[in-house]
Amino acid sequence: MSGISLDFGNGGVEMQSFLQTFLPKFYRGEKWGNFENDAATFPIHDGKTLCFTTDSFVVDPILFPGGNIGDLAFAGTVNDLVVMGADPIGLSCALILEEGLDEKILEEVLKSLANLSDKFQIPIVTGDTKVMEKGSIDGIVINTSGIGIAEKILDDSIEVGDKILISGGIGEHGVALLSKRFDFQTEVVSDSKPLVSEMKEIRSLIKWAKDPTRGGVAASLNEAAVEKNLELEIWDQVLPIQKAVRIAGDLLGIDILTLANEGKILCIVKAGKSEAVLEKLKKYNSMAAIIGEVKKEKINGQVILKTVLGARIMSMPSGKIVPRIC
Amino acid sequence: MSGISLDFGNGGVEMQSFLQTFLPKFYRGEKWGNFENDAATFPIHDGKTLCFTTDSFVVDPILFPGGNIGDLAFAGTVNDLVVMGADPIGLSCALILEEGLDEKILEEVLKSLANLSDKFQIPIVTGDTKVMEKGSIDGIVINTSGIGIAEKILDDSIEVGDKILISGGIGEHGVALLSKRFDFQTEVVSDSKPLVSEMKEIRSLIKWAKDPTRGGVAASLNEAAVEKNLELEIWDQVLPIQKAVRIAGDLLGIDILTLANEGKILCIVKAGKSEAVLEKLKKYNSMAAIIGEVKKEKINGQVILKTVLGARIMSMPSGKIVPRIC
């Protein structure tokens, strides 16, 4: 087909190549860094660093098991800041609404935003509201951008032998959303959650962190492997996956490692500190696990999934993984 | 009709009352201020202030005489920062694209963003791309958020006798857009423009500034009058309006004072400095003019339009002024 395809928006290879086409042409200034990261960084006073990030949320359906688009919009942007090592100081919230949208839905979404803002003491400080004619936009779209301040950006150099951890079960948001969209019964609910407390506890102990949203664990690990020229090995047998998530994945024929998570931290930790980090993460989620390790240096990187049957490459997801998952 | 109406998104009374319903419930933190302003403010080091703003652009059509949605998205957010007195340091850019969108259009939009970023040396440092299914969004929507740093936020106390100035002709963006939408011939092009240089020249001389976008000069003046409890008097006979804009306004039966401007500064200046500010503004646009003055203090404020026939209240715009003007 001609024109922009859905694949562009999935966090997979198509989006990567689309971004590569345009991004290098943009003026970058001298002070900013971390353009390819979850949040861009700008040095401020006393050695501190300002972090800045943006995300639009187009999730379908707007309300899903375990949350709504407002929960996602708050958690998604906060998480992009905290995985960099920053303390979020404020968010923006821009609403785009479809004419005729049920005010009850809007109220529920705004209530989620207000509750999370209150709970995590991160204010929403600036906003914008646009309305488009009926049929020009599907329901509600939210953009949240966020600012954080970091004492220290997480970017310690990763070494062979470092361990890879995840802070809980994989694929829960993806399955919760698909269950609503395809109308099948499951007990799985979205894991959408601001990871402020978890990251505060572990950030001094870890080298790198990422929230594996669009494209899931597979995309996040591949990005890290490519960027840092590493071969990462993941152990299939220890991956924390709820039974109901596994069943739903089989039912739908979808690789759980490519499904979005909206409240999980993927992190890389010095081997000697991995048990300490695991212990801290388990306080929040008993499914937290050490799932692999940094195997060797490798130009352009790769991710290997070791299973009982042998090893295979865990590729960067491509194609229509799941559109409008967040 | 039930549900959200287009009026909500127009910058008029409906949006004001909608925002009033929800905003007070949100947690605000202790350090942030200027929530109702173009950009929220946060004190940083050395007495400086961080400014943070967001805007979504849903303009229809995407390409219009004098620019495209990319020009608007850059200028709109930059202008929200500069009218506060800040120097923009970085923007985010989040694209939401319709499946099947012509890549040529996207390229033109991105080129505008890249060119303006380069010209004004304001980097776009973080971004996001989502794609929605054909029919789920109309073409392309852009959110830009922006960060700036101000030595001094513009908020000097306004006094009776202060003059009101505008930096050029009124209503040009609105008319340019409507000409394309309703397919009539006019020489008017959008005034979309980042006001970085203009504001840098005048900011030490002025007390207050605003870029009169959605809802136009009428909305911006009413907001100021209400917020500051002032009666503002505007002189109809000296309003700078291109002849072609006036003709289009008559043709369409639209009040030009409610039409969006995307590259104009409305400002309030001590009487003794008004000629100096006018002179500086005229270097950029010969239509810059002193258009009125602060008449008296008045609880809840009001704006009076003085015409040859007498005086009338210039109300806050309401209803479907022009949907999707920016």
What pLDDT score was predicted for residue A165? 98
Q: Which residues, numbered 140 to 159 in chain A, qualify as contacts with chain B under a Cβ-Cβ cut-off of 8 Å?
A: 141, 143, 145, 147
Domains in chain A, CATH or no CATH each: 31-150 (3.30.1330.10), 163-313 (3.90.650.10)
Is a pLDDT exceeding 80 seen at residue A251?
yes
d(CA B77, CA B74) in angstroms, rounded, equals 6
Structure tokens at B74: 């850059």
What pLDDT score was predicted for residue A124? 95
Q: Mapping DSSP to helix (H, G, I), strand (E, B) and coil, where does residue B309 land?
A: coil
Using one digit for the tens of pLDDT, what is the confidence trace for B75-133? 999 999 999 999 999 999 999 999 999 989 999 999 999 999 999 999 999 999 999 99
Is a pLDDT exceeding 80 seen at residue B292?
yes
**Higher-confidence residue: B324 or A79?**
A79
Cβ <8 Å between A130 and B22: no
Spell out which residues of chain B touch residue A59, defining contact as CB-CB under 8 Å. Answer: none
Is a pLDDT exceeding 70 seen at residue A11?
no
pLDDT band at A68 (very low <50, low <70, confident <90, very high): very high
d(CA B157, CA B159) in angstroms, rounded, equals 7
Q: Which residues are bridge partners to A294 per DSSP?
A: A232
Is a pLDDT exceeding 50 seen at residue B43?
yes
Cβ <8 Å between A90 and B46: no
For residue B61, say if its preceding peptide bond is cis, omega within 30 degrees of 0. yes
CA distance B150 to chain A (A): 14
Using one digit for the tens of pLDDT, what is the confidence trace for B249-274? 998 899 999 999 999 999 999 999 99
Q: What is the mean pLDDT of residues A249-278?
A: 96
Structure tokens at A155: 């970017």
| Nearest CB to B8 within list A31, A58, A131 | A131
Cβ <8 Å between A323 and B131: yes
What pLDDT score was predicted for residue A318? 80
What pLDDT score was predicted for residue B56? 97
Using one digit for the tens of pLDDT, what is the confidence trace for B199-248? 999 999 999 999 999 999 999 999 999 999 999 999 999 999 999 999 99
**Higher-confidence residue: A23 or A197?**
A197
Using one digit for the tens of pLDDT, what is the confidence trace for B170-179? 999 999 999 9
Residue A252 phi/psi, 5-degree rounding, is -90, -10
Buried b (16+ CB within 10 A) or exposed e, A47-67: ebbbbbbbbbbbbbebbbbbb
**Could you tell me which chain B residue has the CA closest to the CA of A46?**
B45
CB-CB contact of B38 with B150 (8 Å) = no
Q: Which residues, numbered 122 to 141 in chain A, qualify as contacts with chain B under a Cβ-Cβ cut-off of 8 Å?
A: 122-133, 135-138, 141
Q: Mapping DSSP to helix (H, G, I), strand (E, B) and coil, where does residue B280 land?
A: helix
Weakest mean pLDDT among A155-159, B117-121, B244-248, B295-299: A155-159
What pLDDT score was predicted for residue A116? 97
Structure tokens at B110: 């991105």
Structure tokens at B303: 């704006």
Is a pLDDT exceeding 90 seen at residue B319?
no
What pLDDT score was predicted for residue B1? 46
Q: Which residues, numbered 55 to 84 in chain B, qualify as contacts with chain A under a Cβ-Cβ cut-off of 8 Å?
A: 55-56, 58, 60
Query: Quick check: ipTM above 0.90?
Result: yes
**Could you tell me which chain A residue has the CA closest to the CA of B33?**
A125
Cβ <8 Å between A29 and B58: no
Spell out which residues of chain A touch residue B2, defining contact as CB-CB under 8 Å. Answer: 100, 102-103
pLDDT band at B150 (very low <50, low <70, confident <90, very high): very high
CA distance A118 to chain B (A): 5
**Higher-confidence residue: A7 or A45?**
A45
d(CA A218, CA A36) in angstroms, rounded, equals 17
